[in-house]
Structure formats: C-alpha cells, structure tokens
Amino acid sequence: MRQKMLSEELKGKYGVKVYKLSLSSGCTCPNRDGTIMYGGCTFCSEGGSGESAAPFVPLREQIEFARKKVEAKLPKAGQDKRLYIAYFQSFTNTYGDPERLYEMFREAAMLPEIAAVSIGTRPDCLEAPVMEMLCRLQEIKPVWVELGLQTMHDRTAERVHRGYCLETFENAYKRLKEAGMEVVVHVIMGLPGESRCDMLDTIRYLSSLRPVPDGIKIAQLQILRGTALGVEYQKDPFPVMTLEEYCELIRDCLAILPEEVVIHRLTGDGPKNLLIEPAWSADKKRVLNTMRRYLTQPAFSSSGTEHREVHS
C-alpha cells in the first residue's frame, strides 16, 4: 500500500510509538436526544460508538484509567517516554457548551504526554463558537476533528438515519480545513442498499476533496444487538460481505485513495457481545492476518507472510 498507517506516521513524527486514550466528554448526540431525531443512526450502539472509552469522570481520572488500560498490554520499560492522543470518541464531542468543552480539552492538551487532541463529532455540530473554541485549542496542541460521514450517498444516509446531507459535510469539512484543523473522515463499508460501486464512490469522493482528508478510518458495517439496524436485519436480512470480499474492497479503496491520506483504521472492532453480523469480525486475529495478506500481495495468495499493521 502507498499510504502510511497512523502508527507509522506518528512514529515518524514523534520518534516514539504513540497510543490512543479513549476518553469521554460527557456529550450526548443531537441525533439521539430528539434535536434532530430520536434513536440515532440505525447502526449506533447504546454507547454512541465508543464502548471502549473511559467513563465520564474528571478528566485526570479518565486519563489514568485509559492509560492503565493501554499500559496493561505493553512492556513496563519506556513507560515514561510514551506519548498519547487524547481521543474523545463516543457520541458527539462538540455537542455541548463550548466553554465547558474547551476547559476539558485544554486540560488534556496541556499534559506533556499528550501529543494531540482528537475529537469525534458530526459536521452539523460545528457552529461558529465551537470553531472558535477549536482554534483556541489548536494553539496548545494539534487538533484532529474526526467526522463520521459513513457514506457520500444521501439516500443511504436517509435509510440509516444519519440526519444530515452531504452538503453539510462538505461545508464543515471546508471550514475545518480553512481553520487549519486536521480532519479524519470515518466511512462504513457495507451499509444496507449499497453496492460495491457505491462504496468505492464514497472513497473517490473523499479523494477528490481539496485539500484531501488528513486521515481516514474505514470500517465494515457491524450489525449489533440493541440497535435499530439489528432489528431491521433480523426481520429482513440483507447481504453482508465475507471477510475476503471486505479485504478485496479495502485493497481497491487503497488503490484509489491519494498517498498522503493517513490510514487510521481499515477494520472496526465493535463490542463482540453485541455482534450479530459479520461473524468474522469477532476474530480480530484472522481479520488482521487476512487483511495483511490481501494488502501485501497484488493478487491474493495465502502464502503472503509480510507483516504490517492494518489498524492502529
């Protein structure tokens, strides 16, 4: 693949491995609380797509909690030299009082071990006071804004109750880039009613934006228990990609995406206990190994052995 994975990009930039701390800002989402609609995007789980985030307690406690979780998987040596991204992941992290949010984000940004603050949000929650707050934050540390586009197709967006149209995304994207923010776009492959061609159109669309997105997160659609999509699927199942089809699709996405787009993720790993389909996504090791093989061989062969990270 021509693009860099996020871990590689960060290692090059900071000289050390950089880890993510999943944090909570205490925000809800206008797509769930009735401001736009009730219920949210049909694929969104109870935890607002951020089940692994620290509980909403004072920020220093969240950072400690998240850090311990990361450290538990790593060797003790070099602990004091590690850098982190403060990642506000669940729900819509700019949907709240900008001053309260600024104080929280600033507290994270001021810590020497925090390399950047990453904020997951919706493009319709970036009004002028929020943009001004993000610009102030950017004076302390780099700010990444993660926008959940999922698809460029408004008909699919309506079907999954995303609650905004492509024009809203494009508008927000332009304003963020004009303000010098790094923008990471989230897309989902396999949304109901979308063909392979529709999914690749979303990738082509993102590749045509100028400037191009700084980063992209691609995930397979995960149909979870307790979501509207889960109910829809159980009543009337729609086609779900096999792991091999998904890996092939990702290979085609990467062939389209410009080289300078940093790849933050190529697979999603949602809560296993809620997973209905695709069943293969519960086996992370198999997913990563298969993906590696697809990405390191021009034509798939099961003998591929080169190891490269496929998500950070």
Of 159, 160, 276, 187, residue with least CA distance to 224 = 276
- Least CB distance from residue 161 to ligand SF4, whole Å? 8
Beta carbon nearer to ligand SF4, 213 or 270: 270
Copy the structure tokens of residue 164.
């905004």
User: How many distinct helices (H) and strands (E) make up the chain?
Assistant: 10, 9
Beta carbon nearer to ligand SF4, 29 or 276: 29
- Least CB distance from residue 6 to ligand SF4, whole Å? 21
- Least CB distance from residue 31 to ligand SF4, whole Å? 4
Of 3, 7, 1, 87, residue with least CA distance to 309 = 7
- Least CB distance from residue 303 to ligand SF4, whole Å? 39
Beta carbon nearer to ligand SF4, 5 or 199: 199
Beta carbon nearer to ligand SF4, 44 or 254: 44
Beta carbon nearer to ligand SF4, 127 or 283: 127
Beta carbon nearer to ligand SF4, 48 or 98: 48
286 secondary structure, DSSP code: H
Residues in touch with ligand SF4 (CB under 6 A): 29, 31-32, 40-41, 44, 48-49, 91-92, 122, 148
- Least CB distance from residue 40 to ligand SF4, whole Å? 3
For 22, counting Cβ atoms within 10 Å of its Cβ (0-12 exposed, 13-18 middle, 19+ buried), the class is buried
Q: CA 270, CA 259: separation in Å to the nearest integer?
A: 28
- Least CB distance from residue 48 to ligand SF4, whole Å? 4
Q: CA 279, CA 264: separation in Å to the nearest integer?
A: 23
For 70, counting Cβ atoms within 10 Å of its Cβ (0-12 exposed, 13-18 middle, 19+ buried), the class is middle
Beta carbon nearer to ligand SF4, 102 or 164: 164
Q: What's the number of CA atoms in the CB half-sphere (13 Å) around residue 228? A: 13
- Neighbouring residues of 123: CB distance < 8 A, sequence distance ≥ 6: 147, 149, 164, 168, 169, 171, 172, 173
- Least CB distance from residue 291 to ligand SF4, whole Å? 24
Residues in the chain: 312
Give one word for 54, left, alpha or beta, with left for phi > 0 and alpha for psi -120 to 50. Answer: beta
